[in-house]
Structure 1
Amino acid sequence: MGRRLQRELFRMVVSDLVGGEPNFHAERLAHYVSLVRRSTVQDPEWTAQLLRWTRHVAGLDYTARAGAAEFLSARLAAGQHGMSRQVIDSVLVDPLDPTWLLYYWNYNHGRALPKPLKRGISDAVRRLYTEESVRQCDRTWMDLRLGDVLNRVHPKPVDARQAELFRHILDRRYDRDAVDGTPAGRWKPPAPPLPRLPGHTLLLAELDAVEWFEFDETVELVASRCERAEIVRWRRERSYHPREPDELRKVVRERFRRRRHDRVLVITQGQELDRSLSSSVPRNVPLHVWDLSDRNTQWASVSRHRYRHDGTKDAALWALSLFEAGEQGLWPW
């Protein structure tokens, strides 16, 4: 059960990589929270490593902050002590991260702040609050100003200069003539190197999508990262007769009869990952469907060895290798 839980939680985090900025709907957030809390109780060390990786490497700020808050809440509910302060600190890397974490905590857990939360945020504030960050991030229009963060967690300044800065931040809360901060660019982790895909990949490129979206470069890029690749171009049948066999399913089954592949990757415009397509590939063989249609995909649709997502994101190729590694318990930290 432990490994299954880890795989499911890791898949959910990686799915945010290929959906742009995650926009958690209530049902999805509730599922994520449940997975994090269960994982925290069962294996807090693994969960802490996942959350740090989520922020520092994957760059998923909301996912990491929400996960850290629920890590702390789950530890408290289970009567477990230690680790929470360090986990909170580990996901706060931008000067506004402490503010957004307090917003999340206030909304989901109330205004009372447990000691590990205060101390974790204090540790981060001591690192992140500088003269430059105040100029860039102290937004007068925000309900929670940097001074409100200081007033709630009471960090101890590292030196006299930071003590003076903290006094300035606190005084600035009540200055109606204060100039709004200059918006700073969001912190992003360095782009990871493109992975190598081991084994033999069956790469299926939909002809209509190639003609419309000019993504031959995408196909070539993926093929260049494969140890071995068989590229097949196919055209989807447009008939609505339900008994007529699907062309893609026929192609996949025919190729598998000739030679067994280690993964199947479909680059397409609007092809669903339906039961018919899924059943054409053995259950233990990863099947990836990258949709290049122009729609705002919020997150990937994933289950074990079955993945469908927007393939136009820079992180799509990276996510493909992460999904597969996670199924084998090969965590990237």
Structure 2
Amino acid sequence: MSKFNSTKNRVATGSSPVAAGAVPAGVTFEGAPGYARDQKSELFLLAVTNMVGESTFYEAAGDRDSRYAALVRAVAVADPQWLAGFLGWLRTDANLRSASLVGGLEAAKAMVAAGVPGGRQIVASVLRRADEPGEALAYWTSRYGRAIPKPVKRGVADAVARLYTEHGLLKYDTASKGFRFADVIDLVHPTPAAPWQGDLFLTALERRHNRDEVVRASLPMVAANAALRRAAADDPGVLLAADRLRAAGMTWEDALSLAGDRLDKAALWTALIPGMGFMSLSRNLRNFDRAGVSDEVAASVAARIADPGQVATSRQLPMRFLSAYRAAPSLRWAYPLEQAIGHALASVPRLAGRTLVLVDTSGSMHSTFSKDGTLLRWDAAVVFGVALAQRCAYADVVSFSTGSRVFPLRPGESLLRSIERWKTDGFFMGYGTATAEALRAHFAGHDRVVVVTDEQASAGGVVDTAVPPTVPMYTWNLAGYRFGHAPSGTANRHTFGGLTDQAFRMIPLLEGGRDADWPWAVG
């Protein structure tokens, strides 16, 4: 009988960027053979799952952050061009704000110490919102004191010139911030990009130092905001004029605070909604329902939430729509959110043949991504696993921990309804991570295997050999721990990572015999 020369074997010619050794170099946290990754691969998988300052099941926040900073510093000196591309992508396409900001500052520190140019450009590239120059200086001074190297100062100054606007000042320059806009300006001395921005800098300094603010013709939004606040003190009804709210750059938080209990909440939300951003809309659905906004207003919100262009521009993580779905008491948001999560998962491919999808719901996957606790790693695993399965020609979906259960897909069922059924029917299981055992139990000649997991497999089973070497096995990593459960990069073993749908694009490339590179331009 032929072992290798058969029509079922796949030619393993494609390579993928996340590389792990062919033999174990340690053990996972649960004792299975662990495969070490090269520095760039370890950094990538850690960064795309790292909210910074957050503990995971196996790794304390301080240890995780220290590992991340050390990896960034090492790669910044070894390959600054690669790191610059990575951090820019991390902040934009991956939409991971804290990890990219910390990465940019740690990279600049290492590059300054090693005499490597480019730190200024990296710092500027990761600052994309008007509050982030202050965030960057707060991080730096809390770790390294007020002696700030010139590349860091100049990178922050470049960002200030690009980001500081009237709307940004009104939205983000609040007393709760340790670094106000004026503090940033005093520290980095940015050059105004235009005369109006010079006036904005003066206004920020006046606000910070409790001096009377001068009304400047070049800053009509700031002037309108001050006038609206004065008028609202006597007549809160002025806050019901949507056009006036927009012209004054009035945030929904400020408007609610100014109105207090003096206005009908439904009327106030109706005035605020046209000027609200996409993220604010999706996070306030519960408040809209509680206030009793009309169906007509709700329909306008629903249309924006379901709009593919607005979803793409917002770069919201798919799990955010699941969180909004669970929080909203009214069913009128269900279909728009289903459409939105579908748009957010647009890069999930349609795969021919038979696919086995294993979703890790062990105890370690019950850990949160952030302190608010609304998003769990196993929620993300189910979102990605079921979304992929629904696009396959044929898929078997399995929830596994110490044991395993087949999750029955229902034709035509929405993704959000499937995820809720996963929860109500007890498919979030807990306990250990018997990955190899689940693979052996459920693999039955499938064309490919996808495992969505934190890779911390239990001792007593070898994941790599649980699937024939001729069958592609794709691991989707959602935690970024040091050791993985299988080799990666070549020969039908590949690891992806992240909280967006982008890496799914690699599967058709690899199965077409092509190499899959990093998701940003290198070189």
Band of TM-score, shorter chain: 0.7 to 0.9
Change (3 A) 1:192 1:116: farther
Q: Does 1:44 align with 2:229?
A: no
In structure 2, the gaps of 5 or more residues are: 1-17, 20-37, 56-60, 214-225, 230-249, 254-275, 280-312, 317-343, 362-378, 405-432, 488-497
Determine the structure 2 residue equivalent to 1:311. Answer: none
Paired position in structure 2 for 1:172? 207
Which letter maps to 1:273?
Answer: A
Farther off after superposition, 126-135 or 22-31: 22-31
CA distance in 2, matches of 1:289, 1:203: 14
Q: Does 1:221 align with 2:387?
A: yes
Alignment pair present for 1:252 and 2:439: yes
Conservation of the 8 A alpha-carbon contact between 1:33 and 1:70 = yes
Q: Which deviations, in whole Å up to 9, do the C-alpha atoms of 1:230-283 show, x marking residues without a partner?
A: 415578759xxxxxxx99755522554x5265324369xx99732345536359
- Residue 145 of structure 1 and its aligned partner are, at CA, apart by 0.8
Q: 1:13 aligns with which of 12, 34, 47?
A: 47
Q: 1:281, 1:287 within 8 Å by CA — same for their partners in 2? A: no
2:48, 2:53 → 1: CA distance?
Answer: 11
Q: Is it true that 1:189 corresponds to 2:373 in the alignment?
A: no
Q: Shift of residue 316 of structure 1?
A: 6.0
Matched, 1:68 2:104: yes
Task: Tell me which of 471, 474, 483 is aligned to 1:286.
Answer: 474
Within 2, Cα distance between the matches of 1:232 and 1:10? 27
Which residue in the other structure is 1:243 paired with? none
Q: Equivalent residue for 1:130?
A: 165
Offset at 1:79? 1.7
Give me the CA root mean square deviation: 4.3
2:119 is aligned to 84
Q: Distance in 2 between matches of 1:247 and 1:108?
A: 40
Q: Which amino acid aligns with 2:47?
A: V
TM-score by length of 1: 0.72
- Is the contact made by 2:403 and 2:438 (CA closer than 8 Å) also made in structure 1? no
Of 58, 66, 80, 2:94 maps to: 58
Secondary structure of the equivalent of 1:15?
coil
Hey, what's the Cα distance between the residues in 1 that align with 2:359 and 2:111? 47
Q: Aligned-pair distance for 1:121?
A: 0.9
Residue 301 of structure 1 deviates from its aligned partner by 4.7
Equivalent-residue separation in structure 1 for 2:384 and 2:42 (angstroms)? 28
Query: Unmatched 5+ residue regions in structure 1?
Result: 208-212, 239-245, 291-298, 308-313
Residue by residue over 1:151-202, the C-alpha shift from the partner in whole angstroms, topping out at 9 and shown as x without a partner, is 0000111122111111111111111899999569779536463322767531
Give the 3 Å change call, closer, same or farther, for CA 221–173 of structure 1 in structure 2.
same
Give the aligned residue type for 1:51.
L
Q: Distance in 2 between matches of 1:203 and 1:169?
A: 54
Residue 396 (structure 2) aligns with: 231
Could you tell me how far apart the structure 2 residues matched to 1:276 and 1:23 are? 30
Question: Structure 1 residues 8, 57: closer, same or farther in 2, change over 3 A?
Answer: same
Contact 1:204 1:233 in 2 (8 A): yes
Could you tell me how far 1:144 is from its partner in structure 2? 1.3
Q: Comparing both chains, which one has the higher relative contact order based on Cα–Cα distances under 8 Å and sequence gaps of 6 or more? A: 2
Q: Which residue of structure 1 aligns with residue 518 of structure 2? A: 331
Using the alignment, how far apart are the partners of 2:142 and 2:199 within structure 1? Answer: 31
Q: What is the Cα deviation at residue 122 of structure 1?
A: 1.0
The equivalences for 1:203-214 within 5 A come to 203-204=357-358
Q: How far apart, in 1, do the equivalents of 2:189 and 2:434 lie?
A: 64
> What is the alpha-carbon distance in structure 1 between the residues aligned to residue 508 and residue 80 of structure 2?
23
- Count residues with an aligned counterpart: 296
Flag the structure with larger Rg: 2
2:290 is aligned with 1:104: no
CA distance in 1, matches of 2:382, 2:44: 31
> CA distance change for structure 1 residues 89 and 233 in 2, over 3 Å: closer, same or farther?
closer
Residue 116 of structure 1 and its aligned partner are, at CA, apart by 1.0
CA distance, structure 2, for counterparts of residue 232 and residue 159 of structure 1: 57
Shift of 1:221: 2.5
Letter in 2 for 1:155: P
Between the aligned partners of 1:273 and 1:45, the Cα distance in structure 2 is: 34
Counterpart CA distance in 2 for 1:266 and 1:124 is 37
Structure 1 residues 261 and 302, CA gap change in structure 2 (3 angstroms) = farther
Is 1:273 paired with 2:273? Answer: no
Distance in 2 (alpha carbons) for counterparts of 1:192 and 1:40: 31
Measured after TM superposition, the shift of residue 75 of structure 1 is 0.6
Q: Aligned partners of 1:306 and 1:197: how far apart in 2? A: 25
| C-alpha distance in 1 between matches for 2:359 and 2:71 | 35
Give the one of 312, 315, 321 matched to 2:499: 315
Q: CA deviation at 1:319?
A: 5.9
User: What is aligned with 2:448?
Assistant: 262
CA contact (8 A) 1:222 1:317 kept: no
TM-score (norm 2): 0.48
- Give the alignment partner of residue 201 of structure 1, picking from 355, 365, 373: 355
Q: What percentage of aligned pairs have identical amino acids?
A: 29
Deviation per CA, 1:79-99, whole angstroms, max 9, x where unpaired? Answer: 222x11111111111100000
Checking the alignment, whether the CA contact within 8 Å between 2:94 and 2:500 is kept in structure 1 is no
Q: 3-state SS of the aligned residue for 1:6?
A: helix
Q: Alpha-carbon deviation of 1:109?
A: 1.6
Write the distance in 1 (CA, Å) between the matches of 2:435 and 2:484: 21
TM-aligned CA distance change 1:259 to 1:149, over 3 Å: same
8 Å Cα contact 1:52/1:64 also seen in 2: yes
